[in-house]
Structure 1
Amino acid sequence: MRNDSTGEVHVKQLRRDLKNRHIQLIALGGAIGTGLFYGSATTIKMVGPGITVSYLLGGLIIFFIMRALGEMSVDEPVSGSFSHYAYRHWGGFPGFLAGWNYWLNYIIVAMAELTAVGAYVQFWWHSAPAWLSALIFWVFITLVNLANVKAYGEFEFWFALIKVVAIIAMILLGLVLVFMRTSHGGTVAGVNNLWIHGGFFPHGSKGFLQSLVVVMFSFGGIELIGITAGEAHQPEKSIPRAINQVIWRILIFYVGALAVILMIYPWNAVGSSGSPFVEIFKNIGIPAAAFILNIVVLTAALSTFNSGLYSNGRMLHGLAVQGNAPKTFLRLCPNGSPVTGILVSAGCIALTVLLNYLFPGKAFMYLISAATIAAIINWTMILLTQLFFRKGKGEATRDLLFKMPFYPASSYVSLAFLALVVVVMAFMSDMRMALYIAPIWIVFLFIAYRIKTSVNTNKQSTM
């Protein structure tokens, strides 16, 4: 940031160093997290084989949300993503709310993933304190993000690639077991396992509706691709391609993988703890099954943490450009990384080390329960902002390069679906607390915004 002779402020721009292969794998990695690897067992218990329909329906809504974001990102590829669009096309407070809520959401998610990393390391070194593992990986990922955006892109490329290869391998091995009609524990692997154990929806509509809450949480972070638009090389090509492939990735990596698992094992035989995927490896007699899976889930957790720190630094930079965050967040390293935003975000995430020290074994659940409603707020803001974006464009919408399909019906249906998820959360004891916290958080941000606006008004009146 600098001032010229006229007093006008010039802001240094983020560098467009993310290549197409980075964007594609970042988008792919954003759709695959620990929610699939470990959280799917809980969801299967809720709904049974119908979990495949839950992910299919949730995936369709996520696709529409991503298309809404993509429409704006291709039209104006900037850092700050939907916070910038909300600020420009909706109003000051919506932009303030969207940006800071997204920042907090990824702070919480990153803290949860860093906590999980400590637990994964204990698989190999039982006596290693979780807080020490969290500290080591915190330092490593922070240094990666401070290097430059290309370094982030490379690490995320390989992190995502490991997850993709692991799931494809699991699917192929699972299909072999089904084709061979492998017998295990008195059960024969086969397609009919999807309906012969109490039906496709053994718990009826209640189980199906409750599963949608967990399913949508699993998709949290997929909107990261919108954040990359400000540093993407040829965003008009890479962003649409990545978003259009989201639905196929969900079909393959969520619906496909879970369908194969439930063909091998009856849904009521899947364990309620750990990962159902490990059972595939155990069933075909690979002694290192748990070891291999632990590497994969460790990579998945580091990938999410890496993405969280990346997006938080860019979001703070974008908020500063809007005037919704201190100007210090405009500062960039010579290599183009938003150094202050990264360091402040990393500092907040570092509280994970303290939480793991004070509450060993409990920190993960404390953190993860607060992230679900924040993700829903993010998606709601994207959809509402896109409606204002279209309204402001008027007749110029015909010139948009990447239009939202079935607009406006797709936008309203997606909003109604998110509202349904919130209603269902009110009937789930584990999720209800989040609904109490969300209004308090929004009121807090509104007060902070009013104070900021008042301070800026007073400054201008004294000039």
Structure 2
Amino acid sequence: MIDNKKVPEQSQQLSRSLNSRHITMIAIGGAIGTGLFLGSGQAIHNAGPSIIISYLIMGIFTFLLMKALGELLLSDTSKHSFIDFVAEYLGPRAEFMTGWMYWICWISLAMADLTATGIYLKFWFPTLPQWVGPLIIVILLMLANMVNVGLFGEIESWFSFIKVAAIVALIVVGTIMVITHKVVNGVPASFGNLVKYGGLFPTGGSSFLMGCQMVVFAFAGIEMVGVTAGETANPKEELPKAINTLPVRIILFYLGSMAVVMAVYPWDQIKTTVSPFVQVFSAMGIKYAAGIINFVVLTAAMSATNSALFTTSRTLYTLALSGNAPHYFAQLSSEAVPKRALNCSSLVLLLVVALNYFLPSKIFQIISSVSTINFLFVWIIIMVCHIRYRQRSQHPGISPMPGYPFTSWLTLLFFISILVVLLIEPATRLSLILFLIFFALLFWQYKLLTRRK
């Protein structure tokens, strides 16, 4: 039962221990995850080289999303996260539903990433059951997150550094292979391979649209900076810096890596069950390089799970402060960590262990689809919230949204159009229907809550 009492604010003080380096690396970590390292294989299979265009379009709109979110956060740095702004500009019902939907977002994303860890570990241990890895990783990361937010920042910084180093290495090595026309599996490496096997849109325009799900999933979690605001030492200086460097990361990490992968390895030979990064390095004949890259993609999945534990615990904590979750979860430990909320999220994540036991071959696609739809809903809410904020304030805030109001409305319509595409696509239609059912249940639950009040 949800307790509608507000928790005294003075007793709830999160530690502001995240510095500029932490925020920057967390922002990078939010932009690089399992969607790029593992999900890109499925995206390439569906759309071919046109996936590069999909990443570019999605990158532009997620940058606009982040600019809108940044302007919101900087308008009042005393708030814990963007969910507090939803309460102010869209009302308590929207706050309740967005908060719980965002919690589900990260729970489902973490389940997908934990599933990925089980797949990656098979590279070294082919006979290892897929559920063993997720079980061990959840326990280890839960214990690490209990210490303090500073340790989370350090762990995430190193995870992000490893991911960035791997992508840069892939781009550099791949570019050298293209320049020297190194033969891989009988095919010379060349950027001409991007259009040689059926053109830029080899699977047709409809397949290009249907690849949207994995592209969106690749960017899921990019708004995580909006949850760190309450624990950032100097948000007015550090948040804009993290957000404004986003376009460079998108161009380098997504467009660069995908272009190199398909220039070295023909797109129609890329498997969906193994990371394209591992396939490329294996094709080079460097056995240990493939093992190193597999370690990197394993790190990426652990990083996303680490971020999920942080985000879900803070989201549950924020919900408890506003009376939209039991106030039991609003209590902080002596290290200023919402330990009870963290324990709850960790226990829920253990469900993925059972899912990987019963559905090891299908679970990643199912969960990633659910996660994608949930994140799209949250992004839509953020854009609506930003539009309402600008309409009310009538003047731009710190680090304003460029091209407002045109860009805000265009971004909102873009995210809505993707939901329509996912409804048409048979593979994601069931996930969208399940989302709508869960949405209706939350709507009904809030109605019961207000009646009790």
3-state DSSP class of the match of 2:276?
coil
Q: What letter corresponds to residue 450 of structure 1 in structure 2?
A: K
d(CA) in 2 for partners of 1:434 and 1:362? 13
Deviation at 1:291, TM superposition (A): 1.4
d(CA) in 2 for partners of 1:9 and 1:183? 63
Q: What letter corresponds to residue 159 of structure 2 in structure 1?
A: F
d(CA) in 2 for partners of 1:330 and 1:185? 56
Deviation at 1:9, TM superposition (A): 6.0
Q: What letter corresponds to residue 37 of structure 1 in structure 2?
A: F
Matches within 5 A, 1:189-204: 189-204=189-204
3-state DSSP class of the match of 2:120?
helix
Counterpart of 1:177 in structure 2 is 177
Of 415, 419, 423, the match for 1:418? 415
Matches within 5 A, 1:130-141: 130-141=130-141
* Runs of 4+ displaced beyond 6 Å: none
Deviation at 1:213, TM superposition (A): 2.6
Deviation at 1:83, TM superposition (A): 1.4
Q: What letter corresponds to residue 433 of structure 1 in structure 2?
A: L
Moved more, 49-58 or 36-45: 36-45
d(CA) in 2 for partners of 1:219 and 1:348? 23
Moved more, 176-185 or 121-130: 121-130
Q: What letter corresponds to residue 253 of structure 1 in structure 2?
A: F
Deviation at 1:255, TM superposition (A): 0.4
d(CA) in 2 for partners of 1:376 and 1:17? 30
Q: What letter corresponds to residue 420 of structure 2 in structure 1?
A: V
Counterpart of 1:317 in structure 2 is 317
3-state DSSP class of the match of 2:287?
coil
Is residue 366–residue 431 contact of structure 2 (8 Å, CA) maintained in 1? no
Counterpart of 2:96 in structure 1 is 96
Counterpart of 1:436 in structure 2 is 433
Counterpart of 1:83 in structure 2 is 83
Q: What letter corresponds to residue 36 of structure 1 in structure 2?
A: L
d(CA) in 2 for partners of 1:162 and 1:180? 27
Deviation at 1:368, TM superposition (A): 2.5
Cα deviation 1:148-193 (Å, max 9, x = unaligned):
0001111101111111101110100000001101123442222222
Is residue 278–residue 294 contact of structure 2 (8 Å, CA) maintained in 1? no
1:401 has 2:398 as partner:
yes
Q: What letter corresponds to residue 295 of structure 2 in structure 1?
A: I
d(CA) in 1 for partners of 2:260 and 2:353? 38
Q: What letter corresponds to residue 190 of structure 2 in structure 1?
A: G
d(CA) in 1 for partners of 2:323 and 2:148? 24
d(CA) in 2 for partners of 1:352 and 1:403? 40
Q: What letter corresponds to residue 299 of structure 2 in structure 1?
A: T
Is residue 145–residue 151 contact of structure 2 (8 Å, CA) maintained in 1? yes
**Larger Rg computed on CA atoms:** 1
d(CA) in 2 for partners of 1:317 and 1:325? 8
d(CA) in 1 for partners of 2:118 and 2:185? 33
Is residue 134–residue 352 contact of structure 1 (8 Å, CA) maintained in 2? yes
Q: What letter corresponds to residue 157 of structure 2 in structure 1?
A: F
Deviation at 1:337, TM superposition (A): 0.5
1:19–1:131 distance in 2 versus 1, CA, 3 Å: same
Counterpart of 1:345 in structure 2 is 345
1:359–1:242 distance in 2 versus 1, CA, 3 Å: same
Is residue 30–residue 221 contact of structure 2 (8 Å, CA) maintained in 1? yes
Matches within 5 A, 1:6-21: 10-21=10-21
Is residue 79–residue 314 contact of structure 1 (8 Å, CA) maintained in 2? no
1:65 has 2:65 as partner:
yes
Deviation at 1:203, TM superposition (A): 2.9
Counterpart of 1:447 in structure 2 is 444
Matches within 5 A, 1:355-366: 355-366=355-366
Matches within 5 A, 1:3-402: 10-78=10-78, 80-394=80-394, 397-398=395-396, 400-402=397-399
Moved more, 33-42 or 234-243: 33-42
Deviation at 1:454, TM superposition (A): 1.7
Is residue 80–residue 317 contact of structure 1 (8 Å, CA) maintained in 2? no
3-state DSSP class of the match of 2:196?
coil
1:274–1:173 distance in 2 versus 1, CA, 3 Å: same
Share of identical aligned residues, percent? 39
Moved more, 39-48 or 299-308: 39-48
Is residue 80–residue 319 contact of structure 1 (8 Å, CA) maintained in 2? no
d(CA) in 1 for partners of 2:116 and 2:360? 11
Cα deviation 1:31-65 (Å, max 9, x = unaligned):
11111112212212222222111100010011111
Q: What letter corresponds to residue 437 of structure 2 in structure 1?
A: I
d(CA) in 1 for partners of 2:77 and 2:63? 19
Deviation at 1:214, TM superposition (A): 1.9
Cα deviation 1:62-82 (Å, max 9, x = unaligned):
111111111111222356522
d(CA) in 2 for partners of 1:310 and 1:9? 20
1:210–1:363 distance in 2 versus 1, CA, 3 Å: closer
d(CA) in 1 for partners of 2:290 and 2:310? 30
Indicate the RMSD between aligned Cα atoms, in angstroms.
1.8
d(CA) in 2 for partners of 1:76 and 1:220? 25
Deviation at 1:382, TM superposition (A): 0.5
3-state DSSP class of the match of 1:147?
coil
d(CA) in 1 for partners of 2:372 and 2:8? 41
Q: What letter corresponds to residue 399 of structure 2 in structure 1?
A: F
